[in-house]
């Protein structure tokens, strides 16, 4: 594992956040949730029900169909023949393996402002989603994305059992937010060797030009991934007046500076720009049938897991 | 352009503070943000921290500060070249002794000077001022000048004197100067003399600033040393006159010292406006007598007086006379007079060089030929004497009149009805002054005359001393006359003289050469070679020296007018009674030659403040 360079967000904050996820009481809460997948994914048999999937050896009756030549007579519903004098074949939900790829933005922007604790929140969210997926024995990996690494991504191995959750925790603890954002290129690099689709949840602040992420997300959708974008945002980013009145703003990724006096007018303009940015992201995701939700660090992780994501349809 | 308060420019240091505040304002706290993507829409401040590039706000603040600083400096433009139309002012400052009287915390003089300085500060630039002092005589200290600073300096340097003053003369001089002035002139008098006591002419054209109210003063109004010309210190007496000028009872002590030794100390109580004399005797020796009052009053100048008890000086008398009772009388007199050395010669034994060993030569019934060049007294000269032509003889004459102003007769009681058996009727020489007169049925004739001739004092008694015994109890006045005459003929060159302050005293019997004068305050002045007069202005001892020859002058302040410091009610300064119409028109036509611009600068500062506020709000908006 590559240890990360020191970033604005401290390791103790991340450690505490991840430890809270692994708390038994919290895990029991997570047991009530499971990942909802809407697309056909892996061909490997799994425990995840696949909607409109091919007939498989599932146990969950989905519907009936008229008997046709070549259908398996083992699934003939004799009760229905006795009542209706019709030959009907039972169909079942196909259960496939749904590999979960949690892409966590590990660029420097996720550590600023430090008071927002975006990266810790994102790591907690990733670990929680990993646990939910591991309960169904689906493979899960967490991939950190940053231009600071030579491959633009840093991936954990796939784990398939929830007992392996601490390994994912340890992996997340190693990650440090650093370098420039490498959302598109990192995802592309991470999925280069992945032939079968799965679930891709991208946890990021998406502070980059839309052109930088739209193409990659479309590609994921085209590859039949179930994609969800979780926009992590904190109170400092929503309301920068709590951070400064007159300052020398410094982009943590590029080092560019801008001298800003935060007047009422300038604050209003910033908020407009933020709202437009969020709206644009949301609109794009809606167009591409990508799940989108904002994950507000101020609201807390439980709010995201038990309200926002179920409302999104990603969890149930 | 000039500035009334140039010290205000010290506030220019605030420019540096402004720059520091500007740079400090521009220094920014580093704030890390995840991305500047969303901040691109916010207008960036134009000033960078490390470079000083003033913006509009800074320039407005700079201009605002400049307006305030320059406004505080009170800039003004002086008037045009025609500043001669300003009023002239003649300041008369009373410097007499009464101005030293203390009124609460200040003396009258300090109050008057303060008023004069205040008036001076209120004058416009271009107005001329003359400064005149009054004591002991009017003196123009500063002639008409526009240099108010020089006048103020002169005012600060003036000190009152221990003399009286002639305020009327000073006012007359000022009035004359005012009338001769080609510009309107005002006379301002700073004095403790009430306006109503000034001459009417002065009151019409002068503005009087009166100071002083108290009448608390007890002073020495006289110190007289009585010591006969041939008496030593044992017989010397001092008479001190003390007067209470206040309108209530006064108490104090009078101490009389000879040098440092206390001779007499008396406590006294004086009723209001009363005086008392103190007779002091028993002086242990010759020397300087100091009478000192210990009183609580407002004027200290008259609390001390000086006198001098002479040491006995030998008097060498040469008597050239035939046998005569006068010889026995003079021998007896010499035996009884300390310091008198008598030499008696017969006329045949007389030679001219013998007069060189005598202070006074007395020729009784003898006039040598040629007459000696010495101080000489001729008694009853013979008829064919070469000095005094004899017109006739007279018998049984009386002294009918005498010259009471002559020093010989000044303190004598009348010599009238002094019968004389025989006398010469002489023609007194032109250089002489008659001392005693008598008369016969035809005309008046002198009985005694005296004068100075060819550097010597010469006296002549025309009557015969054969029958008028000098030491008879019936002829006491004649004896005193004779002794005074001898004393006048041989003046004692006292090293110490007593004078009154303000009087001009002649310094005699000093070698030629520059005279060094040290006043009682220790100040030394070198007088010109030919100057042999001194006018003391303060009480005390003046030390005079010329080429090692030393004299002393004891100056006393005996002036009841000045010592009577009470002023019955102060009067406010009244404006001049009549100001010529021409002068008034000229004054009305005068415009101030000093245009100040501070107010305009303050208005500009206010306008800049509004502009700066608007600019700041616009930037914030």
Least confident of A93-107, B292-306, B346-360: A93-107
Instruction: Give the C-alpha separation, B182 to B207, whole Å.
Output: 20
Please name every residue paired with A49 in a beta bridge, in sequence order, or none if there are none. Answer: A95
On whether any CB of chain B is under 8 Å from the CB of A264, the answer is yes
Domain boundary among B473, B489, B505: B489
Query: Given pLDDT bands bounded at 50, 70 and 90, which one contains residue B587?
Result: very low
What CATH number is given to the structural domain containing B132?
Answer: 3.40.50.410
Residue B530 lies in a domain: yes
Cα of first residue to Cα of last residue in chain A, in angstroms, is 34
Residue B367 lies in a domain: yes
Residues 180-239 of A with CB under 8 A from B: 205, 207-209, 237
Burial class (CB in 10 A: 0-12, 13-18, 19+), B448: buried
Instruction: Give the C-alpha separation, B310 to B322, whole Å.
Output: 35
Task: Assess whether pLDDT exceeds 70 at residue A50.
Answer: no
> Which residue ranges form the domains of chain A, and what is each CATH number?
11-41+96-312 (3.40.50.410), 59-92 (no CATH)
Least confident of A259-263, B117-121, B544-548: B544-548
| Region A187-197 average pLDDT | 84
| Region A36-61 average pLDDT | 53
Residue B407 lies in a domain: yes
Residue A48: the pLDDT is: 57
User: Do B308 and B319 fall into the same domain?
Assistant: no
Query: Given pLDDT bands bounded at 50, 70 and 90, which one contains residue B238?
Result: very high
Residue B176 lies in a domain: yes
| Region B182-197 average pLDDT | 88
Q: Indicate the DSSP class of residue A301.
A: H
What CATH number is given to the structural domain containing B225?
Answer: 2.60.40.10
Q: Indicate the DSSP class of residue B522.
A: S
On whether any CB of chain B is under 8 Å from the CB of A295, the answer is no
Residue B562 lies in a domain: no
Residue B261: the pLDDT is: 93
Residue A247: the pLDDT is: 84
What domain range includes position B36? 2-79+596-620
Instruction: Give the C-alpha separation, B5 to B13, whole Å.
Output: 16
On whether any CB of chain B is under 8 Å from the CB of A259, the answer is yes
Please name every residue paired with A142 in a beta bridge, in sequence order, or none if there are none. Answer: A102
User: Do B336 and B434 fall into the same domain?
Assistant: yes
The DSSP-derived string for B255-301 is: EEEETTEEEEEEEEEE-TT-EEEEEE----SSEEEEEEEE---S--T
Angle (CA) B324 B328 B329, round 5°: 100
Least confident of B90-104, B150-164, B324-338: B324-338
Task: Assess whether pLDDT exceeds 90 at residue A65.
Answer: no
Instruction: Give the C-alpha separation, A284 to A208, whole Å.
Output: 14
Task: Assess whether pLDDT exceeds 50 at residue B340.
Answer: yes
Residue A268: the pLDDT is: 93
Say if CB B357 and CB B341 are below 8 A apart: no
Residue B1: the pLDDT is: 77
Query: Given pLDDT bands bounded at 50, 70 and 90, which one contains residue B548?
Result: confident
Residue B561 lies in a domain: no
Contact A205 B34 (CB under 8 A): yes
Domain boundary among B533, B556, B579: B556
User: Do B307 and B172 fall into the same domain?
Assistant: no
**Closest Cα partner for A109 from A12, A208, A13?**
A208
Query: Given pLDDT bands bounded at 50, 70 and 90, which one contains residue B419?
Result: confident
Task: Assess whether pLDDT exceeds 80 at residue A49.
Answer: no
Query: Given pLDDT bands bounded at 50, 70 and 90, which one contains residue A92?
Result: low
User: Do B345 and B481 fall into the same domain?
Assistant: yes
Burial class (CB in 10 A: 0-12, 13-18, 19+), A158: middle
Residues 36-75 of B with CB under 8 A from A: 36-45, 47-49
Task: Assess whether pLDDT exceeds 70 at residue B132.
Answer: yes
Instruction: Give the C-alpha separation, B347 to B361, whole Å.
Output: 12
Contact B32 A250 (CB under 8 A): yes
Q: How many other C-beta atoms lie within 10 A of the C-beta of residue B246?
A: 20
Contact B38 A273 (CB under 8 A): yes
At residue A239, what are phi and psi to the nearest 5 degrees?
-130, 80
Residues A220-275 have pLDDT tens digits of 888 888 899 999 999 999 999 988 888 889 999 999 998 888 889 999 999 999 99
ipTM attached to this prediction: 0.81
Residues B468-523 have pLDDT tens digits of 677 776 677 788 888 889 888 987 666 788 999 999 888 876 777 788 899 999 99
User: Do B350 and B405 fall into the same domain?
Assistant: yes
Say if CB A124 and CB A111 are below 8 A apart: no
Residue B154: the pLDDT is: 95
Query: Given pLDDT bands bounded at 50, 70 and 90, which one contains residue B583?
Result: very low
Question: Closest chain B residue to A244 measured between Cα atoms?
Answer: B31
User: Do B184 and B292 fall into the same domain?
Assistant: no
State the alpha helices, DSSP H only, in B536-597. Answer: 560-563, 581-589
3-class secondary-structure state, position A256:
coil
E strand or H helix that includes residue A152: none
User: Do B290 and B337 fall into the same domain?
Assistant: no
User: Do B287 and B328 fall into the same domain?
Assistant: no
Residues B260-318 have pLDDT tens digits of 999 999 999 999 999 999 999 999 999 999 999 999 999 999 999 999 998 888 889 99
Q: How many other C-beta atoms lie within 10 A of the C-beta of residue B131?
A: 24
3-state secondary structure B157-225: HCCCCCCCCCHHHHHHHHHHHHHHCCCCEEEEEEECCCHHHCCHHHHHHEEEEECCCCCCCEEEEEEEE
Average model confidence (pLDDT) across chain A: 84
> What are the residues whose beta carbons fall under 8 Å from the beta carbon of B38, sequence distance 6 or more?
A207, A270, A273, A274, A277
User: Do B381 and B435 fall into the same domain?
Assistant: yes
| Residue A284 C-alpha from the chain's centroid | 16
pTM for this predicted structure:
0.49
What CATH number is given to the structural domain containing B377?
Answer: 3.40.50.880
Instruction: Give the C-alpha separation, B357 to B361, whole Å.
Output: 9
Nearest residue, CB atoms, B44 vs list A240, A258, A273: A258
Domain boundary among B312, B341, B372: B312
Query: Given pLDDT bands bounded at 50, 70 and 90, which one contains residue A7?
Result: very low
- Residue of B23, B27, B34 best to disrupt the A interface, most CBs of A under 10 A: B34
The DSSP-derived string for B445-479 is: EEEEEEEEETTEEEEEE-B-SSSS-TT-GGGHHHH
Query: Given pLDDT bands bounded at 50, 70 and 90, which one contains residue A2?
Result: very low
- The count of structural domains within chain B is 5
More confident residue, A195 or B291: B291
More confident residue, B94 or B545: B94
**For B331-349, b where at least 16 C-beta lie within 10 A, e where not — what string?**
eebbeebeebebebbeeee
User: Do B580 and B603 fall into the same domain?
Assistant: no
Least confident of A89-98, A133-142, B102-111, B562-571: A89-98
User: Do B355 and B448 fall into the same domain?
Assistant: yes
User: Do B305 and B222 fall into the same domain?
Assistant: yes
CA distances from B363 to A29, B321, B375, B449 (A): 159, 6, 11, 15
Number of residues written out for chain A: 316
Angle (CA) A29 A27 A31, round 5°: 55
């Amino acid at each position: 594992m590559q240890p990360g360079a020191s970033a604005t967000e401290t390791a103790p904050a991340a450690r505490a956040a991840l430890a809270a996820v692994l708390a038994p009481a919290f895990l029991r809460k997570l047991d009530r949730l499971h990942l909802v997948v809407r697309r056909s994914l892996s061909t490997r048999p799994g425990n995840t029900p696949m909607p409109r999937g091919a007939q498989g050896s599932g146990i969950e009756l989905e519907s009936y169909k008229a008997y046709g030549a070549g259908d398996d007579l083992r699934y003939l519903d004799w009760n229905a023949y006795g009542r209706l004098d019709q030959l009907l074949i039972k169909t079942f939900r196909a259960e496939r393996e749904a590999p979960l790829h949690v892409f966590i933005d590990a660029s420097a922007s996720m550590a600023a402002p430090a008071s927002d604790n975006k990266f810790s929140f994102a790591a907690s969210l990733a670990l929680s989603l990993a646990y939910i997926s591991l309960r169904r024995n689906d493979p899960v990996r967490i991939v950190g994305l940053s231009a600071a690494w030579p491959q633009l991504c840093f991936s954990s191995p796939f784990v398939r059992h929830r007992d392996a959750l601490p390994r994912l925790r340890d992996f997340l603890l190693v990650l440090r937010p650093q370098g420039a954002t490498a959302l598109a290129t990192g995802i592309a690099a991470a999925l280069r060797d992945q032939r079968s689709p799965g679930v891709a949840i991208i946890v990021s602040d998406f502070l980059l030009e839309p052109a930088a992420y739209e193409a990659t997300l479309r590609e994921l959708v085209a590859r039949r991934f179930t994609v969800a974008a979780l926009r992590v945002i904190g109170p400092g980013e929503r309301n920068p007046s709590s951070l400064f009145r007159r300052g020398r703003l410094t982009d943590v990724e590029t080092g560019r500076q801008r001298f800003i006096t935060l007047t009422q007018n300038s604050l209003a303009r910033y908020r407009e720009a933020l709202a437009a940015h969020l709206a644009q992201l949301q609109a794009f995701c809606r167009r591409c049938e990508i799940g989108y939700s904002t994950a507000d660090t101020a609201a807390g992780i439980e709010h995201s897991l038990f309200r926002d994501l179920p409302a999104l349809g990603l969890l149930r | 352009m000039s500035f009334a308060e140039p010290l205000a420019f010290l506030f220019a240091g605030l420019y540096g503070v402004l720059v520091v505040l500007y740079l400090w304002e521009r220094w920014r706290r580093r704030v890390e943000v995840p991305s500047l993507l969303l901040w691109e829409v916010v207008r960036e401040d134009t000033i960078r921290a490390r470079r000083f590039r003033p913006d509009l706000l800074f320039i407005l603040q700079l201009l605002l500060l400049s307006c305030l600083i320059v406004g505080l400096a009170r800039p003004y433009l002086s008037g045009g070249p025609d500043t001669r139309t300003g009023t002239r002012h003649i300041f008369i400052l009373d410097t007499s002794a009464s101005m030293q009287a203390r009124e609460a915390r200040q003396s009258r003089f300090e109050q008057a000077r303060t008023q004069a300085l205040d008036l001076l500060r209120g004058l416009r630039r271009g107005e001329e001022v003359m400064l005149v002092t009054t004591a002991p005589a009017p003196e123009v200290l500063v002639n008409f000048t526009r240099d108010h600073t020089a006048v103020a300096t002169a005012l600060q340097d003036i000190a009152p004197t221990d003399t009286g003053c002639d305020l009327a003369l000073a006012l007359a001089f000022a009035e004359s100067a005012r009338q001769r002035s080609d510009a309107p002139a005002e006379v301002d008098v700073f004095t403790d003399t009430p306006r109503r006591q000034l001459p009417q002419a002065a009151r019409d054209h002068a503005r009087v600033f009166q100071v002083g109210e108290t009448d608390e003063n007890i002073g020495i109004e006289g110190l007289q040393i009585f010591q006969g010309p041939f008496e030593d210190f044992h017989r010397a007496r001092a008479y001190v006159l003390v007067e209470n000028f206040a309108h209530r009872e006064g108490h104090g002590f009078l101490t009389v010292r000879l040098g440092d030794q206390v001779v007499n100390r008396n406590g006294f109580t004086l009723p209001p406006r009363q005086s008392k004399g103190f007779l002091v005797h028993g002086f242990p020796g010759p020397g300087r007598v100091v009478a000192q009052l210990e009183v609580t009053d407002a004027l200290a100048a008259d609390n001390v007086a000086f006198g001098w008890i002479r040491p006995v000086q030998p008097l060498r008398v040469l008597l050239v006379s035939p046998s005569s009772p006068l010889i026995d009388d003079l021998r007896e007199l010499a035996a009884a007079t300390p310091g008198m050395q008598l030499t008696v010669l017969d006329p045949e034994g007389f030679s001219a060089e013998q007069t060189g060993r005598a202070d006074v030569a007395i020729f009784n019934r003898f006039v040598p030929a040629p007459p000696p060049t010495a101080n000489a007294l001729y008694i009853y000269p013979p008829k064919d004497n070469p000095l005094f032509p004899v017109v006739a003889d007279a018998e049984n004459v009386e002294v009918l009149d005498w010259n009471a102003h002559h020093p010989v007769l000044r303190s004598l009681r009348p010599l009238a009805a002094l019968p004389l058996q025989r006398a010469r009727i002489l023609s007194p020489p032109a250089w002489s002054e008659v001392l005693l007169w008598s008369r016969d049925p035809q005309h008046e004739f002198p009985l005694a005359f005296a004068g100075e001739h060819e550097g010597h004092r010469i006296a002549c008694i025309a009557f015969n001393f054969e029958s008028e015994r000098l030491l008879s109890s019936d002829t006491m006045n004649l004896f005193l006359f004779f002794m005074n005459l001898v004393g006048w003929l041989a003046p004692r060159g006292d090293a110490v003289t007593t004078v009154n302050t303000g009087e001009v005293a002649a310094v005699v019997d000093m070698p030629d050469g520059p005279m060094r004068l040290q006043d009682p305050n220790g100040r030394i002045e070198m007088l010109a070679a030919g100057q042999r007069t001194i006018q003391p202005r303060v009480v005390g001892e003046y030390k005079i020296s010329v080429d090692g020859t030393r004299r002393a002058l004891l100056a006393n302040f005996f002036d009841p007018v000045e010592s009577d410091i009470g002023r019955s009610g102060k009067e406010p300064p009244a404006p001049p009674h009549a100001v010529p119409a021409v002068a008034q028109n000229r004054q009305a036509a005068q415009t101030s030659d000093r245009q100040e611009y501070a107010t305009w600068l303050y208005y500009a500062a206010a306008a800049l403040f509004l502009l700066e506020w608007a600019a700041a709000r616009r930037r914030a908006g």
